[in-house]
Amino acid sequence: MSRLFVRRRAVSEIVGAVLVAMITIAMAVAYVMAGRSTAQSQVLSMVDLIRAAERRQRQLLSLTYAYKDGSGNLHLFIYNYGSETSTPDKLYLAEPTYVMGSGQYTFDMKQAGTNTPVPCIGSKQLVELTATPAPSQNQFDIILTTAEGGIFIWKFQG
């Protein structure tokens, strides 16, 4: 009876030690994996930010020609000489005293020289952007923002 008791005690010590070892290893693995997951999410956030900034850098828009027609529409010929496609999303025509939130215009866009509507300005592409109606002034700022985060400002002098 006494030998059996001793054996049981020895087995429980082994099981206890193995359990402690397993718990320790599991906690270490969990700690490393949690750290890896945190590091991965932080790195991916940084990569997203860097890539967004890179896309902004690769957008290069040039206003080649602008005029107001007899119907009161403003026509802008915009050329993309960058390597990234630009998607214009907001157009502001700002007078010298600009009020935030005002001056946003709707516009249509088509490939220059044709009547083909285009949703974006591809690389090395010239588009004609028509804003309706044009401001009555002959001097104002044209502010164009793109979905890719680009902001372009030109001066119009009619």
- Are 120 and 61 spatial neighbours (Cβ–Cβ below 8 Å)? no
The set of residues, in sequence order, having a beta carbon less than 8 Å from that of 42 and lying 6+ positions away, is: none
Question: CA 90, CA 36: separation in Å to the nearest integer?
Answer: 40
Interaction of residue 30 with other proteins, rule CB under 8 A: no
How far apart are alpha carbons 61 and 67 in whole angstroms? 17
Q: What minimum distance in Å lies between the beta carbon of 99 and other proteins?
A: 30
* Gap between the Cα atoms of 150 and 61, Å rounded: 9
> From the list 30, 34, 69, 89, which residue makes contact with other proteins (rule: CB under 8 A)?
69
Smallest gap from residue 60 Cβ to other proteins (A)? 6
How many residues touch other proteins under the rule CB under 8 A: the total is 46
**What single-letter amino acid sits at 25?**
I
Q: Is 151 in the site for other proteins (CB under 8 A)?
A: no
Residue closer to other proteins (CB basis): 32 or 89: 32
If one asks whether residue 83 binds other proteins (CB under 8 A), the answer comes out as yes
Does 12 engage in binding with other proteins (CB under 8 A)? no
